[in-house]
Amino acid sequence: MSRPTCLLTSANALLHNLKRVKACAPQQKVMAVVKANAYGTGLDFAIPVLNGQVDAFAVSCLEEALKIRELGSRASCLVLQGVFNAEEWRVAARYGFDCVIHHQAQLKWLLSVPLPSKIKVWVKINTGMHRLGFAMDEVEEVLRTLESCPWVDKDIRLMTHLARADERGHPYNDFQFNAFNAMSGSFKKYAHSIANSAAILSLPKTHADVVRPGIMLYGVSPFENQTGVDLGLMPVARLMSAITVIHHYPAGSSIGYGGTYTTDRPSIIGIVPVGYGDGYPRHIQPQTPVWVNGVMVPVVGRVSMDMLTIDLTTIPDAQEGDPVELWGPNIPIEQIATSAGTIAYELLCQMTDRLRGSATGLF
Ligand SMILES: *Cc1c(COP(=O)(O)O)cnc(C)c1O
């Protein structure tokens, strides 16, 4: 018998969400973003499901790209931050990874290391995010240099990233889109990519040639005040545990560290062995719900590293061993993120390896 806390993942939901991507962007190629261990759902889960169903994968760094090869996928894979030194160009070429190139040092390293095989590059352009990317007036020269480099594949692509795609109707999206078009219009022979999940869902004009869905694949909304379910998506991650102990305490009992919650009536308190050591956020608002046997009951007191306490007084039939959902199909992860003052992206990525022990499975 092992600890009942585990992350369950749904291949069915992942494929459903991919269908939603394809329905939104039917003409485009799909590059599935699987950085940060497939947004916490596990590369070993996501890659076998998506392999062959998408045109490419995207990850943050080479280490993540190598994991995809270890899982047996030969699919194209784009390294979104590109290389961090000259040697990494060799590794990328050896394994056949595509790389983003976004600043002059990466270009210099590329020219300095003759590569045994051609590498595919994506030139990232800063259209207003001001994080990564060549300035628009550098692009022409960068492209000329790349075109004349013998180990660069002539099939160069252009990309940019939107800073405010999650804000529906924000004029900054038009500003970036127009800037990208004004510049990339001179380079029509190259494939273009702009859209993340929010843009796939709300900015069809930005779909270009290749879309880059991340969060929506995992069934989560990129927009504030909407859940994935509102958008026709299905949650891929289900964080489950179970009640291990039930206590009856009189009114006036303070529960857990700091005594931040005191019972105001005789109360039934359940112990659930999941905490911030698993990635459940500590900074939730009072009354944040968990799901027990189809009923929502609140977390009370502080979340500990390895457990939390829930108030079962309204469901006196609850038993030790009853399953508890922390987030998943019954409790939107977006709701817990809002309660914790963060976004669901962060909660997904913070799910720790302790959840991926022997009990990990499908739902
Ligand atoms: C992470 C990332 C994406 C995916 O973003 P979502 O909001 O999760 O869809 C797309 N493009 C780039 C460059 C990224 O870094």
The CATH number of the domain holding residue 268 is 2.40.37.10
Q: Is 197 in the pocket of ligand 1 (CB under 6 A)?
A: yes
Distance CA 274, CA 6 (A): 9
Q: How far apart are CA 4 and CA 321, in angstroms?
A: 9
Greater pLDDT, 319 or 361? 319
Closest atom of ligand 1 to 100 CA is 13
DSSP 8-state secondary structure symbol assigned to residue 259: G
Are 259 and 206 found together in one domain? no
Residues 131 and 262 in one domain: no
Among residues 155, 190, 218, which one ends one of the domains? 218
Read off the pTM: 0.96
Residues 134 and 107 in one domain: yes
pLDDT at 185: 80
Domain-located, residue 35: yes
Q: What is the mean pLDDT of the chain?
A: 96
Structural contact between residues 195 and 224, judged by C-beta atoms closer than 8 angstroms = no
Does 294 fall in a domain? yes
Q: Is the pLDDT of residue 52 over 60?
A: yes
User: 117 and 28 in one domain?
Assistant: yes
- Residue 212 CA to ligand 1 center (angstroms) comes to 6
Q: 263 CA distance to ligand 1 centroid (A)?
A: 44
Q: Are residues 47 and 86 in the same domain?
A: yes
pLDDT tier for residue 1 given thresholds of 50, 70 and 90: low
Average pLDDT estimate for 90-112: 97
257 as an active site residue: the answer is: yes
Which band of pLDDT confidence, cut at 50, 70 and 90, is reported for residue 121? very high
pLDDT band at 94 (very low <50, low <70, confident <90, very high): very high
Q: Are strands 254-255 and 261-262 parallel, antiparallel or unpaired?
A: antiparallel
Please identify which of the residues 29, 120, 257, 280 carries the catalytic annotation.
Answer: 257
Name the nearest CA neighbour of 276 among 301, 298, 256, 303.
303
Domain annotation covers residue 226: no
Looking at 218, 251, 282, the residue that finishes a domain is: 218
Rounded Cα gap, residues 358 and 70, in angstroms: 21
Residues 283 and 354 in one domain: yes
Digit-coded pLDDT (tens) for 16-32: 999 999 999 999 999 99
End-to-end CA distance of the chain: 19
Q: Are residues 162 and 68 in the same domain?
A: yes
Q: Are residues 257 and 312 in the same domain?
A: yes
What's the rounded Cα separation, in Å, for the pair 133 and 146?
15
How many distinct structural domains can be found in the chain?
A: 2
Residue 218 alpha carbon to ligand 1 centre in Å = 12
What residue numbers bound the domain in which 194 lies? 11-218
